[in-house]
Structure 1
């Protein structure tokens, strides 16, 4: 005898009740999740997911960005304080050898680091994507603080030495980390008409990158640590965006040429086209270098590539090679995305932890490539969407980005990389998450394609001309 299809067995009712509970789990609760876009709670073929798996609405994305803004607006201070007493110093006409710029919440956010530069870039992008003036106001507040305090700390540095100054990165620049990301952010703000005239700082940092930083024999920008000639993938972002933005600011094609040269040569040294990933770095005095494929190092490169492709002239001779490397990189990253939407600390090591900052960088670079027409939405749209969903789950109610790796040197063993701690009180993830969210908003507003849900997944379908 066949069961009456109008009635459900007790087991079936129980299953549907449990699925409904999963489907309507509160935001921020841990999985499993049902896909809310599927109205059939009895669809056993839908399954459950470790992260919310659905088509996010723009309001959901802006809510994440707003939480991050609120957190950083509080955590990233613009105050001069006494390093010994922690008291605020308001009179900037009186010399004080103990004066420093506050590093904000848990001393994790200095106003002049590469992470802060990326945060400013993210705030500018979020402001453009949302139309919300609070993001630009954040950048303006910080740049006005720099404008007020650079003369003060410059005078202090003459008394105590530039190396001891809170603004050592400007007065005693000696690394790409000191210069590139902040330089690029200041140029973007200047072109957008935000903040005071900080052209002297822009010029100083840009000229350091182009004319003073250490290079390999072939002209590739490098470091003298931890070996005499060490090449770091991180330095793609610490030099290429600033060089490219200088081309945009000045109109001088030599800046574009230098940016393109660095992108091409860094890839030739560190990119493995068979694997499709960058090694974190290599030492020129060591043959047969082992490849450690750290997530954030790959993130720095792909963000730099995206920013360069944005402004590099269409007829530049290096553009085809840069674009081809970028596309191969994206292909490999898509294949390595985890079932939770995030990427691993060591990209090719699924037993390493899932990491937020590199995920944000990849989501930004992939979504940006789709929006700019460099990547197929059919192939990569759902990759970006799944990445964003996994990433958004890492932003807690206080607007802190969890599971982001702290600062990491160029190492030579997996034990080090596997066991780097994570912290929501370091700045590495915040700018990339803002950039990713801004780009995802543009993705869902992109008129070049539609998004449909078929066979329990999402398809980005190009519109017919």
Structure 2
């Protein structure tokens, strides 16, 4: 056989084999393949979830925050650490880290850390809180002396000593009350009383007593202020020696007065802003503000006795809000910046708040796990993708004012230093751990299902009848 004949024979043989293989290979179709078991191309994880996975995620955030939020006083001019607080120089300030120790965002973070300590049994979370609260309580009197002497002091400390808005006071106050109730050795009463005095006696209000602002228009309600003002008042009812019912009654009154103006029943959502002088009241359903409203109701229901005469009314509003939110969750598990506008971006902090509140409500028996457990788990999977390797939280909208046009909300920046994301993500993770410990989620027919009892048998791979 010459070389030409050899190559020609080989080529014909290969062509023959290829043709045979093509004839043998079957096309995937409905009659030979269970198509419902094909693997979908999910953009975020869609799978069973373990408590170990969740704790690993939130531990990464904790380690990052331990390194980037300091408990030292320094000289602004020299950067030198000051250890003698009794003789602070005029330029004394809290050492600057990535985040402020007493912002409202960090009030949320402290509450979340305490919840994580309880859910995980890891004392490092509570230590983060008590180290910073002890530090602030220790240095506050000395900075007050400096303020009285010079008429000014470090802006971060001035915010604590002389709050001028609910943002300055409410969330940190609520967290301090919780910490004080847990650890009697703390001496946070002077700071708590100072915050409460502002909230109850100095904050601007409408004629009927509803917390209000004079910006961007006179007599404006911000949905955010439900959370900035109401939870500390409710939690103080657990600490007050006298008139406990008075504080809880004020908290509940505020919620319903906000809802009277800002709840949109046909949407089952809250509008972000309401201006008393407007003839019409435009409704922009900003994600994080709705989160603050849901979180406020969650906090108050936690404090409210089960026999409280308005508990059922508040619970009904909470459940209606959850129904409205659940219907708007995206296929990626996130919620949108403007909840009912799918072309606005997917946002982390609002999603995390909803995951926490829904998970907590299931764990407290307020919501059905079968109906809402998958909502929370999908939301957590989405949030977990935004915790980067360093422990930073991505995809969080920066601080946001109020507007009556969509472009304002659509184009708010996102940033890893937007502090609003850290507390909600830790809080969501902590409550997901509780949820996974109490409930019985399982993959069945490729979907997450929540069961009331543990399922010991494996779901069949093939179904006799095809799913609808």
Superposition pairs for residues 90-129 of structure 1, below 5 Å?
A: 90-105=83-98, 109-129=99-119
Aligned CA distance change for structure 1 residues 218 and 148 (closer, same or farther; 3 Å): same
Task: State the partner residue of 1:237.
Answer: 227
Task: State the partner residue of 2:346.
Answer: 354
2:402 aligned counterpart, secondary structure: coil
Deviation at 1:305, TM superposition (A): 0.6
Aligned with residue 180 of structure 2, among 154, 169, 190: 190
2:211 aligned counterpart, secondary structure: coil
Q: Is the 8 A contact 1:153 1:166 kept in 2?
A: no
| Alpha-carbon distance in 2 for matches of 1:427, 1:11 | 53
TM-score (norm 1): 0.87
| Alpha-carbon distance in 2 for matches of 1:146, 1:402 | 28
| Alpha-carbon distance in 2 for matches of 1:46, 1:218 | 57
| Alpha-carbon distance in 1 for matches of 2:136, 2:381 | 36
1:6-27 deviation line (CA, Å, top 9, x unaligned): x994998xxxxxxxxxxxxxxx
TM-score (norm 2): 0.87
2:448 aligned counterpart, secondary structure: strand
Aligned with residue 45 of structure 1, among 33, 38, 41: 38
Task: State the partner residue of 1:416.
Answer: 408
Aligned pair count reads 426
Say whether residues 1:328 and 2:320 are aligned partners.
yes
1:429 aligned counterpart, secondary structure: helix
Task: State the partner residue of 1:79.
Answer: 72
Report the aligned-residue RMSD: 2.1
Bigger shift: residues 377-386 or 282-291: 282-291
Deviation at 1:170, TM superposition (A): 2.6
Superposition pairs for residues 133-282 of structure 1, below 5 Å?
A: 133-162=123-152, 165-193=155-183, 196-250=186-240, 252-282=244-274
Aligned CA distance change for structure 1 residues 83 and 11 (closer, same or farther; 3 Å): farther
1:165-199 deviation line (CA, Å, top 9, x unaligned): 43122322221111110110001101110763010
Q: Is the 8 A contact 2:57 2:384 kept in 1?
A: yes
Bigger shift: residues 92-101 or 185-194: 92-101
| Alpha-carbon distance in 1 for matches of 2:362, 2:126 | 25
Say whether residues 1:70 and 2:69 are aligned partners.
no
| Alpha-carbon distance in 2 for matches of 1:161, 1:87 | 23
Aligned with residue 55 of structure 1, among 29, 44, 48: 48
Deviation at 1:155, TM superposition (A): 1.1
* Bigger Rg, structure 1 or 2: 2
| Alpha-carbon distance in 2 for matches of 1:278, 1:130 | 33
| Alpha-carbon distance in 1 for matches of 2:386, 2:278 | 38
Task: State the partner residue of 2:14.
Answer: none
Unaligned runs of 5+ in 1: 1-6, 13-39
Deviation at 1:163, TM superposition (A): 7.2
Q: Is the 8 A contact 2:91 2:153 kept in 1?
A: no
Q: Is the 8 A contact 2:93 2:154 kept in 1?
A: no
| Alpha-carbon distance in 1 for matches of 2:355, 2:280 | 32
| Alpha-carbon distance in 1 for matches of 2:441, 2:448 | 7
Superposition pairs for residues 278-297 of structure 1, below 5 Å?
A: 278-297=270-289
Q: Is the 8 A contact 1:140 1:195 kept in 2?
A: no
| Alpha-carbon distance in 2 for matches of 1:219, 1:420 | 31
Aligned with residue 390 of structure 1, among 382, 386, 395: 382
1:424 aligned counterpart, secondary structure: coil
Deviation at 1:461, TM superposition (A): 2.3
Q: Is the 8 A contact 2:169 2:228 kept in 1?
A: yes
